[in-house]
């Protein structure tokens, strides 16, 4: 029996690769999946396959391709420090260019065709999903515990597509005051915001100590329903 989801690495531009996961139907709406600071590692690839199984054509770009192509990091000690250093070294103009290139590459895929395209991201990737919503023509965005979004709220005026935010109630990196800043900045916009009281930062990642299964399941259900409503 063939696997329901087919995957491969492909090249967006010279040196710039992305992980593609195709749904069982081999076609569907597009979904850009933005990584955490740990690269397109086994967990992010598994998330790509999870959403592909839900019916989306998922493309996860290698955000650190300029510094450490296809780096895969763990979540503790030296790996965590390296991930933070790689993220700090990223230039905003480069990130914006890569976001635009990834969205364009996904729209050009024959498996997507004329279907809609959304963005999803975790932590650093949540911030990139926010930037994608503010700077590209995507049709929906779902940032999970996007660090630093509250420092980029000047871009809220550029938001046109629907958004769904997911935050941890006990996040040591994103205080609830920052979450409220995001909520207030998006009043009147097509946005919804969910906070998971018992969860910590990274609650969706089953490879981390902060994994919170109940919150992850609820958030995945909400995100999938939202994306299905907005993109199909």
Q: In the β-sheet with 30-34, what is the strand arrangement from edge to edge? A: 6-13, 16-22, 57-61, 30-34, 117-122, 140-144, 163-168, 191-196
Among the listed residues 123, 139, 166, 205, the single catalytic one is 123
Residue 77 annotated in active site: no
Closest CA to 192 of 167, 172, 228: 167
Closest CA to 147 of 63, 84, 190, 222: 84
21 SS3 class: strand
Q: Kindly calculate the radius of gyration of the chain based on its CA atoms and give it in whole angstroms.
A: 16
Among the listed residues 17, 98, 171, 205, the single catalytic one is 171
Alpha-carbon distances, residue 125 vs 5, 122, 132 (angstroms): 23, 5, 10
Contact indicator for 22, 49 with CB cutoff of 8 Å:
no
Residue 26 annotated in active site: no
204 SS3 class: coil
79 SS3 class: helix
DSSP bridge partners of 10 = 18
Among the listed residues 150, 201, 205, 212, the single catalytic one is 201
**Catalytic residue ranges:** 123, 171, 201
């Amino acid at each position: 029996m063939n696997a329901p989801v087919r995957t491969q690495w492909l090249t967006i531009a010279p040196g710039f690769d992305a992980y593609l996961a195709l749904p069982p139907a081999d076609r569907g709406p597009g979904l850009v999946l933005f990584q955490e600071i740990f690269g397109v590692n086994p967990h992010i690839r598994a998330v790509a396959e999870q959403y592909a199984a839900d019916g989306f054509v998922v493309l996860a770009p290698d955000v650190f391709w300029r510094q450490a192509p296809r780096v895969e990091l763990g979540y503790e000690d030296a790996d965590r420090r390296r991930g933070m250093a790689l993220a700090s070294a990223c230039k905003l103009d480069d990130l914006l260019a890569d976001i635009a290139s990834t969205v364009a590459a996904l729209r050009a895929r024959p498996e997507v065709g004329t279907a809609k395209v959304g963005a999803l991201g975790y932590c650093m990737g949540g911030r990139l999903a926010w930037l994608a919503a503010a700077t590209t023509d995507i049709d929906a965005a779902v940032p999970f515990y996007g660090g630093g979004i509250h420092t980029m709220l000047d871009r809220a005026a550029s938001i046109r597509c629907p958004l769904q935010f997911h935050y941890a109630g006990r996040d040591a990196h994103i205080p609830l005051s920052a979450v409220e800043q995001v909520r207030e900045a998006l009043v009147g916009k097509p946005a919804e915001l969910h906070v998971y009281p018992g969860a910590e930062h990274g609650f969706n990642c089953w490879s981390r100590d902060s994994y919170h299964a109940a919150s992850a399941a609820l958030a995945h259900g909400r995100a999938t329903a939202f994306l299905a409503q907005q993109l199909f």
